[in-house]
């Protein structure tokens, strides 16, 4: 066995206490405590030294207590559209009950935060982090774990992995229900516009779509599968492209409501009436889609409830209580409105 | 002159120091310091006693420094639609530059927060508060001032008053420009759907509308002025009502974009084409309105820029720097799209 220097920490040993960290760093216990508790008035190089030791050896808090500046940090990959508001509402509802603040970070379109974010987060020391449609690197997850800051993934982009608790929706079932609904209306040429390939939710919706077609004995046509980016523009671009096919689709299932808005625009430009000439099913059921003309048939995922559940998990973990389950999945629901109708008669 | 009890604080005196507060309360300086700094581990009755003394006598921080847990608290009257996201984006942009956290509170539809909010806020001790389309009571403002927590009003509902810094948009000019645009297209029967009576922004838009009509020599008809609540439903309800008038309007100016969505729905139900039979102008220019069919003509107010400016003001005040101006107003801009056209010929 190799012992490096005079370090008291090695494989299998208990993580050091504040006193041991202070000795290792050659600083006072008060200084280590300041770093651990995210206080200011520590020289940057001292902070870096202590942070480095904690990364190397770990650190165990003496006794667990609810964070004095109790706060939920919500990490969004991007602030756009109604999706963030639905989530903040759900987080806020549970946070208020527990007298916790709600803090918002945005990754401006990236799906994992940079190193600056984690340093500032450790300084803010929230009670826990909810990462929405994003994830942390294994290193970032380890830093949070060392500080006993729980992490919950909400609508995760990838496999949560390594026992990270997560909250999601029945995406596969949603894809299945949307496609069944169109099949029931007599459609056989059904296109799908998906989200990005890295999004687990989108993959599940696509698999549900495939399963519904398979079950109905309708062949899956790769020409009818369009990979989008969850953007309104996807619906516009792909609808034009799909309608140029020799045998164009009579129905389009979009993997979010925004894309359906783009389909509406393309249909208008092409002189197609919804649902007479083209049926459309969205996904999410954001509040404004009932106001579209015609009102959008969509798959509802209860984002506000999902966010509330993630926050409850976070509160329990922050109190040191075990979770009854590591993954909570909310059922999705088909909401039939005016954008879907029988397959048009062949002219 | 009356001196009450043995209190060292009286009219005109300097606010007490921590030591003086500790003496008044009969507690240790450490305890007062904990209350002042929002730390835990203070008995509720002790905290209440010290808070009461600070309310009564004030308190002066020894020397000014940037808050160690630097954070901007954004207070929304309600989280709904795209409006909050546009604002959080602007706050986040400036907060990131200054390594500050962004905290969100929601009043669930109320326009001034309850007493629980202010107590928890003082415990969180943010660097400052941005109240969006809401306000604080004079007592709440005083509590923030005592703690030197700056307050900025963004899109204030009422008169900011008492030197409270604020950021707004050129609402009056926006109302004027929307109405001028419709007058230029030949419309004379122009209706307006406003926000609630207590909203200063809505009053200014209405006054701009009146001024444009006056200037053009078009009489202001009270039947064409509908007071709404900034809700989509307003547009639906009032359009139906307006079209039942003996001399119905040929154009409707709505004081937010959501209301215009409701007008679109009503027009569809009434078999009216936009803009052929009815012109519509919105207000805000939220990102999705360019996707309406037809795309909405609207008055753009740069909410994200406004929120960024409010945050910059907050940062400066938190650093103890004076503001060059107490009120910043952003210009609004007419964005002409497809929902406005020439007045229809009389059939």
Q: Give the ranges where chain B is alpha helix by DSSP (H).
A: 18-25, 29-36, 44-57, 83-97, 115-124, 138-146, 171-184, 200-215, 232-243, 257-270, 303-318
Contacting residues of A for B337, CB less than 8 Å apart: none
Quote the percentage of chain B above a pLDDT of 70: 91
The CATH T-level fold of domain A71-168+303-330 is Rossmann fold (3.40.50)
Q: What is the CATH number of domain B171-301?
A: 3.40.50.2300
In the structure, what pLDDT confidence band is assigned to residue B154 with cuts at 50, 70 and 90?
very high
Min CA distance, B40 vs chain A (Å)? 6
Q: Which of A106, A124, A232 sits opposite B69 (nearest CB)?
A: A124
Minimum CA–CA partner of A263 in chain B: B291
Spatial CB neighbours of A141, under 8 Å, sequence gap ≥ 6: A151, A162, A164
Contacting residues of A for B261, CB less than 8 Å apart: 288, 291
Higher-confidence residue: A161 or B347? A161
Best CATH choice for the domain A171-302 from the list 3.40.190.10, 1.10.260.40, 3.40.50.2300, 2.60.40.10? 3.40.50.2300
Is the Cβ of A60 closer than 8 Å to some Cβ of chain B?
no
Query: Residue A267: is its pLDDT beyond 70?
Result: yes
Min CA distance, B131 vs chain A (Å)? 15
Minimum CA–CA partner of B122 in chain A: A69
Domain boundaries, chain A: 18-57, 71-168+303-330, 171-302
pLDDT (0 to 100) of residue A8: 37
Min CA distance, B82 vs chain A (Å)? 6
Does A71-168+303-330 match A171-302 in CATH topology?
Answer: yes
* Residue B339 near residue B281, CB atoms below 8 Å: yes
Mean residue pLDDT across chain B: 88
pLDDT (0 to 100) of residue B64: 44
Of B174, B200, B330, give the one whose Cα is nearest residue B253: B174
The arithmetic mean of pLDDT across residues A131-160, rounded, is 87
The arithmetic mean of pLDDT across residues B257-283, rounded, is 98
The answer for B 80-109 residues in CB contact with A (under 8 A) is 80-82, 84-85, 88-89, 92, 99, 101-106
The answer for B 255-314 residues in CB contact with A (under 8 A) is 258, 261-262, 264-265, 268, 287-288, 291, 293
Rounded CA separation B184/B206 (Å): 18
Min CA distance, B343 vs chain A (Å)? 24
Contacting residues of B for A41, CB less than 8 Å apart: 68
CB contact under 8 A, B85 and A89: no
The arithmetic mean of pLDDT across residues B237-252, rounded, is 98
pLDDT (0 to 100) of residue B69: 54
Query: Residue B304: is its pLDDT beyond 80?
Result: yes
Spatial CB neighbours of B160, under 8 Å, sequence gap ≥ 6: B135, B153, B166, B327
The arithmetic mean of pLDDT across residues B98-102, rounded, is 93
Q: Which CATH architecture has domain B71-168+303-328?
A: 3-Layer(aba) Sandwich (3.40)
Min CA distance, A313 vs chain B (Å)? 20
Burial A157-168 (b: 16+ CB within 10 A, else e): beebeeebbbbb
Rounded CA separation A137/A144 (Å): 11
In the structure, what pLDDT confidence band is assigned to residue B8 with cuts at 50, 70 and 90?
very low
What count of Cα atoms within 13 Å lies in the side-chain half-sphere of residue B283? 34
Residue whose token pair is 């940037």: B66
pLDDT (0 to 100) of residue A2: 31
* Residue A286 near residue A84, CB atoms below 8 Å: no
Rounded CA separation A150/A148 (Å): 6
The arithmetic mean of pLDDT across residues A139-153, rounded, is 91
B219-238 pLDDT, tens digit per residue, is 999 999 999 999 999 999 99
């Amino acid at each position: 066995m190799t012992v490096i220097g005079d370090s008291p920490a090695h494989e299998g040993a208990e993580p050091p206490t504040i006193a041991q960290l202070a000795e290792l760093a050659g600083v006072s216990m008060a200084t280590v405590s300041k770093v651990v508790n995210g206080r200011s008035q520590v020289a940057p190089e001292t902070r870096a030294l202590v942070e480095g030791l904690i990364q190397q050896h770990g650190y165990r808090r003496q006794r667990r207590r609810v964070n004095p500046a109790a706060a939920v940090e919500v990490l969004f990959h991007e602030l756009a559209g109604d999706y963030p508001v639905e989530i903040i509402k759900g987080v806020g509802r549970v946070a208020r009950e527990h007298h916790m603040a709600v803090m918002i970070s945005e990754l401006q379109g990236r799906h994992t935060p940079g190193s600056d974010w984690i340093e500032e987060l450790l300084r803010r020391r929230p009670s826990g982090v909810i990462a929405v449609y994003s994830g942390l690197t294994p290193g970032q997850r380890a830093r949070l774990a060392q500080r006993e800051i729980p992490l919950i993934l909400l609508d995760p982009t990838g496999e949560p992995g390594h026992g990270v608790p997560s909250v999601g929706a029945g995406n596969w079932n949603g894809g299945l229900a949307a496609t069944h609904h169109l099949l029931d209306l007599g459609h056989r040429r059904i296109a799908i516009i998906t989200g990005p390939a890295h999004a687990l939710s989108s993959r599940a919706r696509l698999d549900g779509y495939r399963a519904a077609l398979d079950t109905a004995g309708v062949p899956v046509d790769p020409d009818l599968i369009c990979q989008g980016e969850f953007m309104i523009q996807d619906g516009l671009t792909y609808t034009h492209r799909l309608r140029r096919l020799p045998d164009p689709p009579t129905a389009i299932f979009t993997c979010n409501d925004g894309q359906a808005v783009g389909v509406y625009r393309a249909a208008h430009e092409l002189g197609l009436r919804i649902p007479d000439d083209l049926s459309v099913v969205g996904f999410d059921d954001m509040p404004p889609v009932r106001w579209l003309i015609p009102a959008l048939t969509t798959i509802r995922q209860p984002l506000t409830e999902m966010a509330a559940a993630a926050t409850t998990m976070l509160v329990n973990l922050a109190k040191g209580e075990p979770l009854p389950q590591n993954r909570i999945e909310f059922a999705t629901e088909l909401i039939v409105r005016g954008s879907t109708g029988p397959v048009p008669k062949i002219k």
